[in-house]
Amino acid sequence: MHIIIYGPEGSGKGTQAKLLGDFLNLPVFTAGDLVREAAIKNKGELGNAARLALTSGKYLSDKDMFELLREKLATKQAKKGFILDGFPRNLDQAKFLLRETQKSEYKIDKLIYLKLSDEEAQKRLLKRKRPLFTGSKLLHDTPERILQRLKTYRQLEEPVLKLFREKKLVLEIEGDNTPEIVFKNILQGLKFPQ
């Protein structure tokens, strides 16, 4: 199976991706891990872009993200199945993903949308107290930064959901529950016996 875990920051995407990956025995591909890997291994322009993105706390450009993912999506491992977390973030990325998977002769089976209000996302993110980047004294999750990121996410969310809804691939799950209940609801939605 090829599954995307989608939702705002704080909705529990990472937790659910790991639980589902373990349950289905599939690797979890996260956008963040791909960027961190490139920052360590790639000595060229892409590695520089990845290092800059990590130190500045910003996202990698679509162009660079596509380059990282194009390789990953064409691997034998990817063709067998994966859980994708943190990508796509916008409509161009969503279209790229559908195109690339088709080229590699497989398709996305489901986009699991973890619904969560901005208020709940803020509450959860403020508890994290993550640094802006490793070694930084500045916080990634200040109220202002959280609001800005959620605002950006919400502007990009609807077109992405619309595209996957048109393809009848969206499974909506209420994210405002314990991780255990959310996971149980995901398995039910995917029609897996529990």
**Whether pLDDT at 189 is above 80:** yes
Give pLDDT, residue 194: 65
The CB density around residue 167, as the number of other CB atoms within 10 Å, is: 11
Residue type, 33: D
| Peptide bond just before 88 cis, omega within 30 deg | yes
Q: Which residues contact 115 (CB under 8 A, 6 or more apart)?
A: 7, 11, 172, 173, 174, 175, 176
Percent of the chain past pLDDT 70, that is, above it, reads 95
Give pLDDT, residue 132: 65
Give pLDDT, residue 60: 86
- What count of residues does the chain have? 194
Distance CA 68, CA 62 (A): 10
Give the single-character DSSP code of 28: E
Residues 5 and 60 sit within 8 Å (Cβ to Cβ)? no
What confidence category does residue 25 fall into, taking pLDDT thresholds of 50, 70 and 90? very high
Q: Tell me the per-residue pLDDT of 134-167, one tens digit each, with 9 for 90 and over.
A: 677 777 678 887 888 899 899 999 999 999 999 9
Helix axes 45-56, 62-73, angle to 10 degrees: 120
**Whether pLDDT at 57 is above 70:** no
**Whether pLDDT at 12 is above 80:** yes
Domain 2-189 bears CATH identifier 3.40.50.720: no
Residue type, 93: Q
CA torsion angle 183 186 191 194 (round to 10): 10
- Higher pLDDT: 29 or 142? It is 29
95 CB burial (10 A radius; 0-12, 13-18, 19+): middle
Whole-model pTM: value is 0.89
Give the residue-averaged pLDDT of 18-30. 96
Residue-averaged pLDDT of the chain: 91
| Secondary structure string (H, E, C) spanning 54-100 | HHHCCCCCHHHHHHHHHHHHCCHHHHHCEEEECCCCCHHHHHHHHHH
Give pLDDT, residue 75: 93
Residues 50 and 38 sit within 8 Å (Cβ to Cβ)? yes
The CB density around residue 87, as the number of other CB atoms within 10 Å, is: 22
Q: Tell me the per-residue pLDDT of 42-54, one tens digit each, with 9 for 90 and over.
A: 899 999 998 888 8
Structural domain boundaries of the chain?
2-189
Q: Tell me the per-residue pLDDT of 66-105, one tens digit each, with 9 for 90 and over.
A: 999 998 999 999 999 999 998 999 999 999 999 999 999 9
